[in-house]
Structure 1
Amino acid sequence: MKKYYDSEIAKSSRIPKLIEHLYAKLPVIEADRAVILTRVYKETENEPIIMRRAKAFRAICEELPITIRPDELIVGSNSKAPRGCQVFPEYSFEWLEREFDTVATRSADPFEIAEDTKQKLHEVYQYWKGKTTSELASSYMEQETLTAMEHNIFTPGNYFYNGIGHLTVQYEKVLAIGYKGIIKEAKEALKQLSITDGDYAKRARFLEAVIITSKAAIKYARRYAELAMNMAQECKDRTRKKELITIAQNCANVPEYGATSFYEACQSFWFVQLLLQTESSGHSISPGRFDQYMYPYYKKDLDAGIITREFAQELMDCIWVKLNDLNKVRDAGSAEGFAGYSLFQNLIAGGQDEEGNDVTNDLSFMCIEASMHVMLPAPSLSVRVWNGTPDEFLMKAATLTRTGIGLPAYYNDEVIIPALVNRGVLLADARTYNIIGCVEPQKAGKTDGWHDAAFFNMLRPLEMVFSNGYENGEKVGLQTGDVSLMKSFEEFYDAYKKQMNYFIELMVNAINAIDLAHAQRCPLPYQSSMIEDCIGRGKSIQEGGAVYNFTGPQGFGIANMTDALWAIKVLVFDEKKLTLSEYKKALENNFGKGMPKKKAELITTEIVKEIVKAGNPVSESQIADIFKMICDNYISETDRKKYEQLLEWIDELPKYGNDIEEVDLFARDVAYTYTKPLEKYKNPRGGQYQAGLYPVSANVPLGAQTGATPDGRFANTPIADGVGPASGRDNKGPTATANSVAKLDHFIASNGTLFNQKFHPSALSGVKGLQNFTSLIRGFFDEKGMHMQFNVVSKDTLLDAQAHPENYKNLVVRVAGYSALFTTLSRSLQDDIINRTTQGF
């Protein structure tokens, strides 16, 4: 019997070499996929879209360049360059063509792009004009919706410009029966159809597309088997030669057939993960409960003496490295919001089985160990916690947290399971949930959740209340009345709710338009083959083939909105220290800190127009000087002093995040202005809308597009992160902050909530530090909080890393629902992390 734990194979130095190779150079944009896809689309103009997609995927699997990187044990890459990426013109392309000359030098997530690649993509893009999902989606949207998007009330960019992700497929099914088994299942379903059925043609073509894409995946793996064998024949190093022969054998077996060993299961898993990202550019393709579906293969090999725990760990470490090899390029604006090259591949350990028994196992611990070994952002490791979670497992997770890598994130079974059941998910399915992307719960292999369907900025409707629905002379929101005439806080709060409801409706219109566009132009047969019950229903996941269909846009800004509305209630209506008109003027003048950026830009543009109209040239430096002059000289000294007084009054008010019952319960009500209205809406796939409360890292770039707010937040500065308090506003310690956050209704926010905390490393030192830390988690979860995640790093370290990035190339931090290398983040996002409150016990 072959043993994979040969000491010559299990090299302890392998992982550092793989990581060094991975990060040696800047990521590269490649054109191969786009060229192949476009050629096939031209050849299949008159065929059904599902067949065009299947045939394009087949060609990509057969022709995309393949490579085996040095020292790899798990193989498969969709780019020649490490951390390189392909592009997906079927979704959108204009933004990349506009950014050809800036994508390598931009502040967030830069990519190299060769001149010949630019030329190839330029030629490809000629075909795609008028044919993308984004263009079709736009044509379905109402003008009011497009206006709201232009004014950054909400942004549905994830699926507007990219493919469908945010799901976990049936990895366990591929491991068990392989694509040979899925082909058999599709053929049997095809036999059950009658040509007289009204939907026969559509269902038959879909099933044929599943067969084509499954065979394509098999062909792709065989290409790697052939490449590995050819490399083995030429290899002079005896140890590497043996490794390559084993790799060739694995790729010849999986994923065509079911895996027969843990090593084969690891390779099969990786091919699935890789090809999902090759078919579509959707991110947050999450491995899910890796410790559960991989465990039978590990246990069988371990008991039979085929593998050692050490080599199994090395294979997992190799997968962890490979998850960082996958990449995608985003437009400059989105790159700011998702900075750190993240694909949000969430892998979760621990939790319960269908009957409610704890299923923490050896692989659960090894998942944590793998993250400790590689110390990289991916996978976005998470752990499930409930009252049956072993203390040993939670302490192991806390030990990883103490490293400062920002992993794992912690999730509460006691909230998530009933929240999913409330949405119609069967109890057995809810008990076996996993997390998608940042913080979104769903049942793996059965759900199309459309998580992250849009980012909704809860502060922008408040701006519309003050402006009576207008911005820069354009009608954007509802006309809810002149604030100077409002007689009570209830009247003001009601106006805010009306603006919220209006913009939520427009957001739903935008998302549903994008949803329809994907179903019509970019169904995904390969992805659908691994989601129940697409084969049974004979339709792709984009057409409603999944068992559970949701749409989950997220709102953010709860802390700012709570503190802002509380300040208006107390200062204007309770204590009558100023009027709403005076508050409005203070906001317009940015509390005396200069004119808000948007207004200054508008005035600058008008002045420059007049100068040019008079026949005088204006240089870039002169425009900058005009802008600065307007900002600096707009506000009188008298008004500045008034605004300083107002800021002092605001500062003295109680704030969300300090365990103050009255304020925290008000925050709960503020959150309801977003979470409750969403529940009544349906998506084109027949599913329900559900709210999430988290910003990823969009609170920074979208904050830069938002004016001053009544809580004392200055214009164009970050909005509060997640459901936690605004930076610096929590001053009573981590437990008080956790108690405040727990008072929100996390059950209704079934698309996920995000609670960030930052600790000084000394807080988690020693056994006592870890015990205090795990007690905080259990206490927060007992109070019915949903999620917690942590940065454990000193402010001094972050400031030094910002000043001397060359000394901190491996510093990983928690950004939002993901971790990233600190030095790859934009300056504004780095500042946001630095400014978060540092806690201690």
Structure 2
Amino acid sequence: MDHGYTEYIEKSDRIPRLISHLFEKMPAIEADRAVLITQSYRETETEPVIMRRAKAFEHILKYIPIVIRPEELVVGSATIAPRGCQVFPEFSFEWLESEFDTIATRDADPFSISEDTKRSLHEVFQYWKGKTTSELATSYMAPQTLIAIEHNMFTPGNYFYNGVGHVTVSYDKVLRIGYEGIIQEAQAALDQMSLGDAEYSKKSQFLQAVMISCQAAIQYAYRYSELAAREAEQCTDSVRRAELIQISQNCAKVPAKGATSFYEACQSFWFVQMLLQIESNGHSISPGRFDQYMYPYYKKDLDSGRITREFAQELMDCIWVKLNDLNKARDHASAEGFAGYGMFQNLIAGGQNGDGEDVTNDLSFMSIQACMHVMLPQPSFSVRVWNKTPHEFLMRAAELTRTGIGLPAYYNDEVIIPALMNRGLTLQDAREYNIIGCVEPQKAGKTEGWHDAAFYNMCRPLELVFHNGMDEGVKVGIDTGNVEDMETFDAFYDAYKKQNHYMLSLMVNADNAIDVAHAERCPLPFLSSMVEDCIGRGKSVQEGGAVYNFTGPQGFGIANMTDSLYAIKTLVYDQKKVTMAEYKEAMDHNFGRQLSPEDAAEITKALARRLVDQEVEVDEERIREIYQVAKANGVPEEKRLKYEALRAMIEEVPKYGNDIPEVDQFARDVAYTYTKPLEQYRNPRGGWYQAGLYPVSANVPLGAQTGATPDGRYAHTPVADGVGPASGRDVHGPTAAANSVAALDHAIASNGTLFNQKFHPSALEGTEGLSKFVALIRGYFDQKGMHMQFNVVRRETLLDAQAHPENYKTLVVRVAGYSALFTTLSKSLQDDIIRRTEQGI
């Protein structure tokens, strides 16, 4: 099969200049959208919320400043500043106002913000007090839920403070019929209704809101058409003038009407992608199967001679750059959990169609090439793998992995398709899945998945077992008895399950409260216009308009929980080498570890932030007091030696990740303590809960809120990421680690699992290295593993990048379910990546 590599292997000179322009300055916060939505809301206070949302969207798109960046071929930007972000006060604003003076200097994802912008935002924020989704969601939560959140048992902050996102819309529909066609569809649905229908009032308002929103998108594109025409008139460069004229013609055509060329399809795609993130600030708006819905336009143009592979590749490269232009600001804590300016726009290639035929095509290969040309974190590029995936496609994907960019992630059709069918998807829909955000499967254009609904740290309920439901002197969990009195491992394990089930019920209460708040205050008619069957049902996705509705919170800490429980079982109950009282005492004293000044300072900052969050005045004397308490965490020498001896015994207990069947089967059961109980819960949109097993990068900041664990992990250090072994504990090579992870039941975790591995670059050298690497993936997938992703980088390179970030501005690494520029990550997250076991093949 000839995929014409020689014809488009070299990237355009344009691409490096576009990238350079994008990264010249720190990203900036802009106030235009916040001002405009506030203006509109003031004028529509007596109208239904769905109509207010549509009219606000219309007002924003009519007046928000627009720009065509130098040399762009595909246009449309949410901000004037490259990589800038707008503000969305309808979801939350208090956190941003409190961080006005620190957001530019914080460790994770800093943003510049001008004094004028601060003044403008402060003024509009006054209007939104008492009107946000976060405030409404809080009022719906049970008191015990709020206590659990305060004590970091779980965090639903993703949608608590932001839009939902995490969706793939029907890009193919917009490419095919344009927004004019969707308007006609909504009008036809409205015409079929009778004034006497029981739900006429709400449905008619929704359908009208869809039409207003789609028309606003059309008018917005016309603004770009006019701007390009004006710039063309003033342009003295004949080549650029011709480009601007073509851009003007494209924007006059799409996305109003269906695309008739690959270039038009690229421009139409981009308007959809960008406008979704002006309507709402939910991230993980994922392009999905770009190589499938774009291929007919590419193939038609290529066969007719209308386009060359070289120009088609350049257009794709331009889109890849544009995907890095979109950005959002998060609160300090969330920024640490999503460090690296993560937008999680997952674009996936390869796989099969609804009839079960492999559909890898030229655009699949060209997507890999675009990643090699651009070498940036976005899109979060992924590939689908099954037994008919062409070997040359996997080898080409492996070449991309070898670059060290952390792309692509690999997904197993043989697990994901049946997992989705088990959740109610048809066979055809399941076969056509794509990946959302990090690792979450769904059917595009039919699903409101609520992926990443919460981060659930599986280690925290174990802390409650050791303290009979208490945390920092507060009753957070339930009574399960004194741990010292538990005479059997089954009694101890049962206590964990009870604390865990109780915390899961509180997490569900939090998610459902937030779900209801979004439906009541922030329905999204524009997004809903591109998701089935919202128009047919006459309701937004937030109200249950999608065909498939899920809520997918993710649990993490599998490795720590497995190693912890197995150590307790072995040392306390089987071998009786230590009593539970001795174990508890050692953990309460952090195994005798004397905190380093760096650790103490990190705890100090965390405690100080917590005091600030609770509106307790914090002064320098109090800061020093907290620091001294943290630093003086040592214990008498005799006790310290005893605790260290226990920790040495723990190290000798077999660990998850080394292909030990007894331990791996134990891990499978531990994972079930999270995945199975979730299946009993339902959400307000008529769907149900499904578990994911991945942390994004929250295992680092949430680990900082977690005490010592029975596996010997020190307090306030990272929890294991994803479903992989704890860092440094997989000592028998990558195949052994993969075999252990494959022992988990990945199919039940239908919201996705995440398996990180790190390789030394020498492991992938030459054709032989790539072949062995592909064989590792095939072998893991043959055992029903769901997902794999890789860092291929020398430890020495990462250490040098920490010390000299100015020399590594373009170093991209795999963080969790996404890649990011290494130097933009917080030091704690950088350290976590460095600590991962470095494998060879």
Identify the residue that residue 421 of structure 1 maps to in structure 2.
Answer: 421
Partners of 1:597 and 1:716 within 8 A in 2: no
Identify the residue that residue 298 of structure 2 maps to in structure 1.
Answer: 298
Paired residues for 1:255-654 under 5 Å:
255-594=255-594, 620=620, 623-624=623-624, 627-628=627-628, 631-632=631-632, 634-654=634-654
Partners of 1:134 and 1:161 within 8 A in 2: yes
Partners of 1:153 and 1:503 within 8 A in 2: yes
Identify the residue that residue 3 of structure 1 maps to in structure 2.
Answer: none
Partners of 2:604 and 2:623 within 8 A in 1: no
Paired residues for 1:140-289 under 5 Å:
140-289=140-289
Q: Secondary structure at the match of 1:389?
A: coil
- In structure 2, what residue type is equivalent to 1:376? L
Deviation, 1:628, is 3.1
- Please give the per-residue CA displacement for 1:361-413, whole angstroms capped at 9, x wherever unaligned: 00000000000000000000000000000000000000000000000000000
Identify the residue that residue 4 of structure 2 maps to in structure 1.
Answer: none
Deviation, 1:342, is 1.1
Matches of 1:492 and 1:600, distance apart in 2 = 30
Q: Secondary structure at the match of 1:256?
A: coil
Matches of 2:361 and 2:592, distance apart in 1 = 58
Kindly report the root-mean-square deviation, in angstroms, between the aligned alpha carbons of the 2 structures: 1.8
Matches of 1:497 and 1:285, distance apart in 2 = 35
TM-score by length of 2: 0.96
Change (3 A) 1:352 1:622: closer
- Please give the per-residue CA displacement for 1:536-575, whole angstroms capped at 9, x wherever unaligned: 0000000000000000000000000000001100111111
Matches of 1:54 and 1:223, distance apart in 2 = 19
Change (3 A) 1:103 1:599: closer
Matches of 2:278 and 2:605, distance apart in 1 = 43
Change (3 A) 1:759 1:538: same
Matches of 1:567 and 1:664, distance apart in 2 = 14
- Please give the per-residue CA displacement for 1:772-825, whole angstroms capped at 9, x wherever unaligned: 000000000000000000000010000000000000000000000000000000
Q: Secondary structure at the match of 1:40?
A: helix
Paired residues for 1:26-175 under 5 Å:
26-175=26-175
Matches of 2:272 and 2:385, distance apart in 1 = 28
- Please give the per-residue CA displacement for 1:126-154, whole angstroms capped at 9, x wherever unaligned: 00000000000000000000000000110
Partners of 1:289 and 1:347 within 8 A in 2: yes
Structure 1 position 682 matched with structure 2 position 666: no
Partners of 1:449 and 1:549 within 8 A in 2: yes
Q: Secondary structure at the match of 1:757?
A: strand
Partners of 2:604 and 2:630 within 8 A in 1: no
Q: Secondary structure at the match of 1:82?
A: coil
Matches of 2:684 and 2:623, distance apart in 1 = 48
Change (3 A) 1:812 1:48: same
Deviation, 1:619, is 7.1
Change (3 A) 1:179 1:643: same
Deviation, 1:647, is 1.1
Partners of 1:600 and 1:631 within 8 A in 2: no
- In structure 2, what residue type is equivalent to 1:255? P
Q: Secondary structure at the match of 1:118?
A: helix
Deviation, 1:164, is 1.7
Deviation, 1:577, is 1.2
- In structure 2, what residue type is equivalent to 1:301? D
Deviation, 1:629, is 5.8
Q: Secondary structure at the match of 1:455?
A: strand
Paired residues for 1:622-771 under 5 Å:
623-624=623-624, 627-628=627-628, 631-632=631-632, 634-771=634-771
Partners of 2:284 and 2:344 within 8 A in 1: yes
Deviation, 1:644, is 1.1
Identify the residue that residue 825 of structure 1 maps to in structure 2.
Answer: 825
Matches of 2:543 and 2:375, distance apart in 1 = 39
- In structure 1, what residue type is equivalent to 2:684? P
Structure 1 position 23 matched with structure 2 position 23: yes
Deviation, 1:464, is 0.2
Matches of 2:154 and 2:167, distance apart in 1 = 23
Deviation, 1:620, is 2.8
Partners of 2:562 and 2:656 within 8 A in 1: yes
Q: Secondary structure at the match of 1:707?
A: coil
Partners of 2:593 and 2:634 within 8 A in 1: no
Matches of 1:267 and 1:472, distance apart in 2 = 55
Identity %, equivalent residues: 73
Change (3 A) 1:603 1:788: closer
- Please give the per-residue CA displacement for 1:263-307, whole angstroms capped at 9, x wherever unaligned: 000000000000000000000000000000000000000000000
Change (3 A) 1:271 1:328: same
Partners of 1:604 and 1:627 within 8 A in 2: no
TM-score by length of 1: 0.96
Q: Secondary structure at the match of 2:299?
A: helix
Structure 1, unaligned runs of 5 or more: 1-6, 609-616
Deviation, 1:754, is 0.1
Matches of 1:618 and 1:709, distance apart in 2 = 30
Change (3 A) 1:598 1:198: farther
Deviation, 1:599, is 14
Partners of 1:90 and 1:128 within 8 A in 2: yes
- Please give the per-residue CA displacement for 1:47-81, whole angstroms capped at 9, x wherever unaligned: 00000000000001100100000000000001000
Partners of 1:555 and 1:693 within 8 A in 2: yes
Q: Secondary structure at the match of 1:162?
A: coil
Partners of 2:675 and 2:748 within 8 A in 1: yes
Deviation, 1:594, is 3.7
Q: Secondary structure at the match of 2:454?
A: strand
Q: Secondary structure at the match of 2:632?
A: helix
Change (3 A) 1:121 1:583: same
Deviation, 1:624, is 2.8
Matches of 1:130 and 1:564, distance apart in 2 = 44
Partners of 2:11 and 2:373 within 8 A in 1: no
Deviation, 1:187, is 0.3
Matches of 2:65 and 2:484, distance apart in 1 = 65
Matches of 1:55 and 1:139, distance apart in 2 = 27
Change (3 A) 1:475 1:601: farther
Deviation, 1:472, is 1.7
Change (3 A) 1:230 1:84: same
Paired residues for 1:799-810 under 5 Å:
799-810=799-810
Change (3 A) 1:636 1:452: same
Partners of 2:350 and 2:358 within 8 A in 1: yes
Q: Secondary structure at the match of 1:453?
A: strand
Matches of 2:778 and 2:136, distance apart in 1 = 47
Deviation, 1:471, is 1.3
Matches of 2:352 and 2:529, distance apart in 1 = 26
Deviation, 1:623, is 4.5
- In structure 1, what residue type is equivalent to 2:591? F
Deviation, 1:631, is 3.5
Structure 1 position 811 matched with structure 2 position 811: yes
